Structure formats: structure tokens, C-alpha cells
Chain A
Amino acid sequence: MSLALPAPDITRAITRISHEILERNSGSDSITLLGIPTRGAHLAKRIAQVIEGIEKMPVQVGTLDITLHRDDLRTRPPRALMPTLIPSLGVEGRNVVLIDDVLFSGRTIRAALDALGEIGRPKSVQLAVLVDRGHRELPIRADFVGKNLPTSIDQSVVVHLSELDGADEVLIEGGSK
């Protein structure tokens, strides 16, 4: 197990992503941040805090559970559903930024796009991830990436956040080095 991203780097990455989101969307007026539970939801809250600190105004932030739209439901035991909380202005006509911890196969994001489509029609959908570890199985890419981590397929990337796990860190586990 090796430490890929220590706590200060995670904080810096979140700050940079927040600035990039603001730059791309010319401010926070039009954006709605949706975190994918569990860790994406916490990352969304942190990014929202940074953006509110910069723009001095509240930003639309919520969560989007994708469990019911997964394509691997049948191959695994049933999973608990997590809350979907859409902020007050909804997604219709907004620039929605999906936020997740690790971008891997891209299947989570495909499910998220389906889930989003059932709620409304955003003006655009962007994707922010803390770690992009490669090995995509679908034509999906992130707009904002905290860190590109080249990994081998038999390794796993573990994100710990202080809200849930007591400390901020990104670890790479397993695999033959």
C-alpha cells in the first residue's frame, strides 16, 4: 500500500478544481454541484465551500444517487440506496458539475448521466474527480481532475476523507509493483 496523495495535496487539488469550475462557467451563478454518494457527496460539499469563499454567495449543491441506474446490479448483492438531494433550482437549464472521488471504468458516470436525465435537462454536464486512475471502459472523460494516477488494473485506489475515515489520503493498494 502506498500513499499517492497526502492531505495537503488533496486540499490543494480541491481548491484548484473549484477555481477551474468558476473559470469555465464564468462564476457560480449558473452552476449546480452534484456529488455522487458517498465520497463524491463530501467532495461536492468541500468544493461548494471553497466556491462560496471566493464568490461570497451561496452555491447550489446536492447529491445524486446512481444505484438504481447501475449496469452491474444483477451481478452483485443488492445495495443500499443513498439519498438524492436536488438543490432548490433543480437541474433544468443549469450547468451541472458531477463530482466523484475516483474515475475508473466510467460506468458510474454513465449511470449518473442516466439518473440526471430523469430529473431534468441541464444546459451542460461537466465532471470533476479527485483521482483519474485510467482504464476507461466507456467514452467518458473528466473536465476537472485533481490528480492523474497511472495504475495497473489489479491495483485498487482507496480515497479516505476526514468526514468519514478520520483523515484525508489517497492510497494505492495491491497489484504487483
Chain B
Amino acid sequence: MKHLLSINDLSKAEAIAILDTAQELARVSDGPMKKLPTLRGRTIVNLFAEDSTRTRISFEAAAKRLSADVINFSAKGSSISKGESLKDTAQTLQAMGADAVIIRHGASGAAQRLADSKWMSGAVINAGDGTHEHPSQALLDAFTIRKHLAKSTDDLTGIRVVIVGDVLHSRVARSNVLLLAKLGADVTLVAPPTLLPVGVESWPCKVSYDFDSALAGVDAVMMLRIQLERMSELFFPNAREYSRYFGLNGDRLKQLKPTALVMHPGPMNRGLEITADAADGARSVIVEQVSNGVSVRMAILYMLLAGSQEGDLAGDNKELGTM
């Protein structure tokens, strides 16, 4: 594994290896000394051409806990806002000796372009590209679900997840469907037909237009943000109607099992896709998702950067204990 661009790059064994590694690293984060020497001397660049709070600070915290040097780089205040191309930016980063670039970009496929090009030699981690994918978010969601609900230590077999809302514009939804299905979970997308992408019937999940009937027996409800900034036309009549049919409110909360989880990748539009009592209720793991994000991103950085790149992690732990 050289880059992390899409969930499709990961085998099931690799995905589980990341989750297992994250679990051990979470234990370190709980301990008195949070800093590990593992990536000392490595340089990681956060290249954020789109706004972000959680993902950027979470990758930054993860890199710093592993002792890597972090350079933050956002579109505002850099030459990207002067119109510098991705190629020139990448070559600049290469010249500065970046070992890894964590990229968020408004264009789908930007991370892939960076990885396929010969512009730079470091690892590329996709932190969200347009409406395509956001693999680290899917991994932290799977980590959160597994921590609370998994019956086996391995995968998510038999766990029912509904993903509700703006699937059309959501890179989180796509990555989550691919990963959760890979791990054996039973995934249903719930959205108005206007907010479902073309070709959704080929995704490894079910699709429903009716939130209430999809709620029965569900183990985790993942709400998606209505991405108003990407909406150039009208996708639903008005906010009140959307939130009545597709919002998670107190009544729908009561229909859930006591053990069911309420999740949201953030940032939330309170009152639109989720009400305050659902977002702040006892079942909500929304804040925990953020802290799990640091452990999962530490695991991703560890897997991509700690070792040499000949061979992969899955199945290679036999040598431990003899050097």
C-alpha cells in the first residue's frame, strides 16, 4: 500500500489491519505519554484546497503524535488562490522533501491525479476529493461502529447501517458504502430521488426513499450533511419539508433500538438533517467519531509511512519478537 486514494484500494484484510492498528494506537492516546517516536524526521504536508476543520486538525494531531513534522497548507493564503496549478504546487512540495501529502480538493480525482503523476514521489492520502471519496472518514466510521457493536473481532457481519441524506454530493457516503459492504455490514441508503447519484443501483447497498420504514432493526444511523455549497439547483422543495421526511428527530430517535448509534461526519446543519436532541442524545457518538478519527489516521500514517514499501502488512506479523 503506497497511497490511500479510495476504499477500493484496500483489501478486506488491509482494512481490518488498519482498524486493529488504530485500536492499539487508541490505547496509546489514552495513556500518559501521547507521543510516539515512530515517524520522527518524516515530513507530512496537509494540502487543503477546500475548507475543513475536523479532517485537517485530526490528520495534524495524528502526525504530531507520531512525531512527524507537519506543514499546513491551505488554498487561502497560498499561491493556489493566485491560480497556481496542482502540478506546480506538487513539484514545490517535492522540492521541499515531503514524505506524504494529505490532499483535500474540490475536484473528484485530484488525489488520484497527484498519485499517478510523476510530480512527486511521496505517499498521497485522499482527505476528500470533490464528490468522490473520503476514505479516512469511512475507516473511522467503521472503527466507531466496530468498537460499539461488532459481535466478532474481525468484521461487521450482520450489522445494519442506514446512511441518510445528501448522497449525491457526499464523498463520505460513497466511501462508507464501499467499506461497510466490504466488511460485511448491511447498508441502506435513504434519500429523496433527487439526492441520489446516477448509477447508485450498482453500489453494494439497498436504496430506500422512506426513512421511517428503513429504521426498523437498524444498528447505526449515519446522517449526511446537506451540502448547500455544492447545490446549484433545487433538490428539494424547502428545508422544512426535507427535515420532516429525512431529518433525524426525537420521534425517529424513539423508534431506534436502545443500542443503536447516531452518527454524523460533521459539520452538522442542526435543525435540517438532525435535531439537537438527536445530535446531543445518549446514542450520539458524533464527538467520539472525532477522537476515533485521530487514532484511525495515526494508523493510516503508520501503515503508509513507517515501513519500507516492499510488502504489505496483512499477514506479516510472524517475525515479531525476533530481530
Alpha-carbon gap, A119 to B323, bound state (A): 23
Checking A37, A68, A77, A120 against B38 with a beta-carbon cut-off of 8 angstroms, the contacting residue is A68
A176: min CB distance to chain B, Å: 21
A interface size (C-beta, 8 A): 36
| Nearest 4 pairs of A and B residues by beta carbon | A78-B307, A77-B311, A81-B24, A118-B33
The binding surface of chain B is classed by DSSP as: loop
Which of B27, B32, B322 is within 8 Å of A102, CB to CB? B322
Closest to A73 in B: B306
Q: How many A-B residue pairs have CB under 8 A?
A: 93
Interface string of B139-150 (1 = CB under 8 A from A): 000000000000
- Cβ contact within 8 Å between A74 and B308: yes
* Chain A contacts for B310, CB-based, 8 A: 77
Q: Does B251 contact A (CB under 8 A)?
A: no
Quick check: is B233 within 8 A (CB to CB) of the other chain? Answer: no
Interface residues of A in 69-107 (CB under 8 A from B): 69-70, 72-84, 100-102, 104-105, 107
Q: Could you list 21 examples of A-B contacts with CB < 8 Å?
A: A67-B320, A68-B36, A68-B302, A69-B37, A77-B308, A77-B309, A77-B312, A78-B303, A78-B306, A80-B17, A81-B20, A81-B302, A83-B27, A84-B27, A101-B321, A101-B322, A104-B322, A107-B323, A114-B37, A118-B36, A119-B31
Known: A74-B308, A80-B21, A120-B32. 8 other contacts (CB 8 A): A37-B321, A69-B38, A78-B307, A79-B320, A80-B320, A82-B317, A107-B323, A118-B33
A40 at the interface (CB under 8 A from B): yes
Chain A residues contacting B116 (CB-CB under 8 Å) are none
* Mask of B267-288 contacts with A, CB within 8 angstroms, 1/0: 0000000000000000000000
A168 to B244, CA, bound (A): 66
Chain A residues in contact with chain B, CB under 8 A?
Answer: 36-40, 65, 67-70, 72-84, 100-102, 104-105, 107-108, 114, 118-120, 156-157
| Cβ–Cβ contact B307 & A36, under 8 A | no
Q: Enumerate B1-52 residues with CB–CB distance to A below 8 Å.
A: 17, 20-21, 24-25, 27-28, 31-33, 35-38
A135 to chain B, nearest CB (A): 11
In the complex, A10 Cα to B300 Cα: how many Å? Answer: 40
